[in-house]
Amino acid sequence: MAAYPNVRFLKSAQEPVHFHEDLGVEVAFAGRSNSGKSSALNVMTGRKDLARTSKTPGRTQLVNFFELDEGRRLVDLPGYGFAKVPPAMQQHWRHLIGAYFKQRQSLVGLLIIVDSRRSLGPTDLQMIDYATSRGCPVHILLSKCDKLSRNESTKVLREARVTLGDSATVQLFSSISKEGVDEARKAMELMLAGPADPVSG
Ligand SMILES: Nc1nc2c(ncn2[C@@H]2O[C@H](COP(=O)(O)OP(=O)(O)OP(=O)(O)O)[C@@H](O)[C@H]2O)c(=O)[nH]1
Ligand SMILES: [Mg+2]
């Protein structure tokens, strides 16, 4: 049986006023464009086509809300770091992400998807700051690890652990080979089971 038999798409928001009602708990998926956020969300929920995946990154700047089951949501945040994004779109991204982290009472955890063939970028680190500064735990998925040899993956994981220290937990992940999917789901469930941290100030 599917892990989440009732998982469903709720809505896409292009503006903060369109965010889903801020009740219950939710875990957000963030990461560079094309890092594999939507693929991770699909494989973790066991639903192939829940979130749209694409080979052309940075096209849409939407916050997509999904319901796992009553009162528990996953949020696919718009990707960042795509070189060809026009300034107006970058500004819109900052507006959306800024509002999301500032307002969202139901945010209880952040999953950051980082392509295992690249290192953690400045915006990834900024996402960690946003989350930890409001007491939100962060878990990193080093994605597409099917593209690396065993030796390379071990090295990448070790280096990420050094960079992150105790600011976030981290693991290897592949939506293709399914390596690390159970571990990622456990981390997500742990976050969802935790109390929502009220936004201060
Ligand atoms: N080899 C491999 N390819 C992957 C994996 N996960 C995703 N991809 C591919 O990477 C591309 C981007 O995947 P998405 O899941 O759409 O990435 P995204 O982060 O949601 O991208 P944006 O929404 O555009 O920011 C697609 O072509 C996927 O098929 C993986 O684990 N291994
Ligand atoms: Mg996506």
Is 37 close to ligand 1, i.e. is its CB under 6 Å away? yes
Name every residue whose Cβ is closer than 8 Å to that of residue 23 and which is 6 or more positions away in sequence: 71, 106
Is 35 close to ligand 1, i.e. is its CB under 6 Å away? yes
This prediction has a pTM of 0.93
The pLDDT value given to residue 48: 85
What is the whole-number distance in angstroms between the Cα of residue 146 and the centre of ligand 1?
12
Give 104 or 49, the one with higher predicted confidence: 104
pLDDT at 57 over 80: no
Looking at the CA of 39, name the nearest ligand: 1
In terms of Cα–Cα distance, which of 99, 96, 74, 84 is closest to 7? 74
- pLDDT level of residue 170 (50, 70, 90 thresholds): very high
Name every residue whose Cβ is closer than 8 Å to that of residue 4 and which is 6 or more positions away in sequence: 45, 46, 47, 68, 69
Q: Which of 27-36, 114-123, 187-196 comes out lowest in average pLDDT?
A: 187-196
Is 144 close to ligand 1, i.e. is its CB under 6 Å away? yes
- The pLDDT of 162-168, averaged and rounded, is 95
For the chain, the 3-state helix, strand and coil shares in percent, each to the nearest 5, are 35, 25, 40
Identify whether the C-beta of residue 6 lies closer than 8 Å to the C-beta of residue 71.
no
Identify whether the C-beta of residue 91 lies closer than 8 Å to the C-beta of residue 167.
no
Nearest-atom number in ligand 1 for the CA of 82 is 25
What is the whole-number distance in angstroms between the Cα of residue 126 and the centre of ligand 2?
19
Looking at the CA of 60, name the nearest ligand: 1
Domains by residue range for the chain, with CATH: 8-193 (3.40.50.300)
Please state, as a whole number, how many other Cβ atoms lie within 10 Å of the Cβ of residue 171.
18
pLDDT tens digits, 65-93:
999 999 999 999 999 987 777 888 889 99
